[in-house]
Structure formats: C-alpha cells, structure tokens
A and B are shown apart, each in its own frame.
Chain A
C-alpha cells in the first residue's frame, strides 16, 4: 500500500518514515499509526503534522479539533504517532508533515 504521507521538501533529508499502519477499528473509526525518525545525528528537528480525513466522496471532513500538531525530535530520535479518525464518515486520509518554522502560524487554522 502506498503511504499517503506528504513530507515538506526541506524535511525530506532530515526525517524518515519508519513504519506505517492503518486499520478500521471495531467502533467504526479508522486509525492510522506512523513512525517518524530524525536522521540527523547532531541536530534536533521540529515539525508539524496533520491528518486530513476524507469521506467516501472524497470531501474533506472538518473538525473543531483539526490542528497542526508540533513535534520535537532530538538527534536520531523516533516517535510513533497514532491518530483516530474524527468521524465514522472518514474513509481515506492524508498525512501532511510540514516544516515548523515555515508553518507555525498554521497551528491555529
């Protein structure tokens, strides 16, 4: 399965997607889990991630809790990020990983 993850160009040399999984939970909500690792040895990386959810017709589902989440990774550090869909109508998704400094104003949408 192709990973629906978009990483900002400036971060592609710094970050690595180490794992990716998705499942349809018994409670009717889709769940995605992915691992991100900082490839740099002597440098920390700050980034934002956001999961966009889409219904069966491809329309984006908006939510009050839609937000870009800031993440800090120390040198060589890896974090597993787990997100559950905000609605049972969400059947597909896109994970966006953005540069923190370029997009910090997007934390508040």
Chain B
C-alpha cells in the first residue's frame, strides 16, 4: 500500500516538474508590435496566421480600390490572372489562403473577374481545357461544347512575395517582421500599375514555436 502511494507521489511530482519546465520554456507571450508604438501588445503567435492574411488582404484590396488602377474606362471588369507568389520565410505557407481572400474581395468589388484558365505554372482549373477535348466526341451535343476563341485573355496579373526578417531584441525576445508584397501588372505593357506592402511585426520569446 505504502509502495503504491509512494509511486503515485513520485508520478505526481514528475508531472508537476514537467509542467513547470514546460511553462518555463514557453517564455513571454508572443505579441504584435506596431513599429511606431513598440509598447503596444496584442496576443498572438510569432508565425503568420489567418488573421494576418486577412489584414494583408484587406489592406491590399482597400489600396487597390483607392488607387483607381482597377477602374476600367467606360465601366466593366478587368480580367485578372494569378501569377507567382513566393514564400521567402521559414514557415510553410499556403499562399492560396492569402490569394483567395484577395480574389473574393476583388470579385465582390465589381472591378475584376479572375480567370482560372491561365495561371503561372499552369491553369488553376484544367477543366476549361478538358471540356474542349469533347469537340470531336459524338457523345456530346457539339452546340453545347465551348467553341474556339471564346476564352478571355487576362488584362492584369497579380503576383506577390512574403519576406521574413528575424532579429533578437535586447531583452532576449525575438522580433519577426513579415513583408507581404503584392504587385498588379498590366500584361499588355508589363508595367506595374499598383504595388502594395503590408508589414506585420511580432515579438515574443524565441522559445515559443512560430513555425
């Protein structure tokens, strides 16, 4: 009986020690930092999260709409193709998560329609091409099959890059700055009609997990 109690006490002490050790490793809570007001703190993680993408998307869409770059003379919509998005961070990032919210917001603005038939690296939706293979099939009513010359070529392309810079602060915390850069290029001329950058700065214990 005593042996069993001692074993239970030992187990409890080991568990308690583990919790204390884990808490010690966790360090200070990661927080956003405003470069103009470094004292501001908002709890989050050191890595890029969903809310960061929403913030970047919102800023990009607001900036694009305010710039007038997407105002088509005479009204109507421009056709936008999605180009390359480079992830130059130590995190594994699904860039489509960032791009999708921008696409949805731009579509909603009535200024842009996105083509899924053309994309850097290949069509996003290959069905546009697959469906055209039905042209010679006797099984399909040929009047319902897409004719040649019906696809619309893009006017603009949207490309982007995420850059990460990491530094150690005097108190030992880690500061991580993410630069989310986007460019809207006029495909006919190759000129960038709009460019935007959202900077997200965070600081926290270097022991906290951020990727």
Taking a contact as CB atoms under 8 Å apart, the answer to whether A64 and B37 are in contact is no
**Shortest beta-carbon distance, B179 to chain A, in Å?**
19
B71 interface contact, C-beta 8 A: yes
User: Which of the four size classes fits the interface of chain A?
Assistant: 20 to 34
Which of under 10, 10 to 19, 20 to 34, or 35 or more describes the interface residues of B? 20 to 34
What is the bound-complex CA distance between A63 and B108, given in angstroms? 8
Please tell me if A2 contacts chain B, counting CB pairs below 8 Å.
no
- Are B68 and A64 in contact (CB-based, < 8 A)? no
A29 interface neighbour in B50, B54, B65, B101, Cβ under 8 Å: B65
User: Given the complex of chains A and B, what is the CA–CA distance between A78 and B71 in angstroms?
Assistant: 31
Residues of chain A within 8 A (CB-CB) of B158 are: none
A13 at the interface (CB under 8 A from B): no
Tell me the bound Cα distance from A87 to B111 in angstroms. Answer: 9
Residue-wise, chain B 126-165 has the 8 Å CB interface mask toward A (1 for contact) of 0000000000000000000000000000000000000000
Chain A hits for B61, CB < 8 A: 65, 86
Q: Can you list, as one digit per residue, whether each of B113-128 has a CB less than 8 Å from chain A (1) or not (0)?
A: 0000000000000000
Cβ of B66 under 8 Å from chain A? yes
Q: Mark A58-77, 1 if CB is under 8 A from B, else 0.
A: 00010111010110101000
Q: Are B50 and A86 in contact (CB under 8 A)?
A: no
A84 adjacent to chain B (CB < 8 Å): yes
Which residues on the B side are within 8 Å of A29 (C-beta)? Answer: 65, 109
Contacts of B66 in A (CB 8 A): 31, 82, 84
Contacting pair B109 A87 (CB below 8 A): yes
Nearest Cβ on chain B to A22's Cβ, whole angstroms: 14
Indicate if the CB atoms of B108 and A26 lie closer than 8 Å.
Answer: no
Q: What are 15 A-B pairs with beta-carbon distances under 8 A? A: A27-B70, A46-B42, A64-B100, A64-B105, A69-B55, A70-B32, A70-B42, A72-B37, A74-B37, A82-B66, A84-B62, A87-B108, A87-B110, A88-B110, A108-B51
Name B's A-contacting residues (CB within 8 A): 32, 34, 37, 39-40, 42-43, 50-51, 54-55, 57-58, 61-62, 65-66, 68, 70-71, 100-101, 104-105, 108-111
List of 5 A-B pairs having minimum Cβ-Cβ separation, nearest first: A65-B58, A27-B71, A64-B104, A64-B101, A72-B40
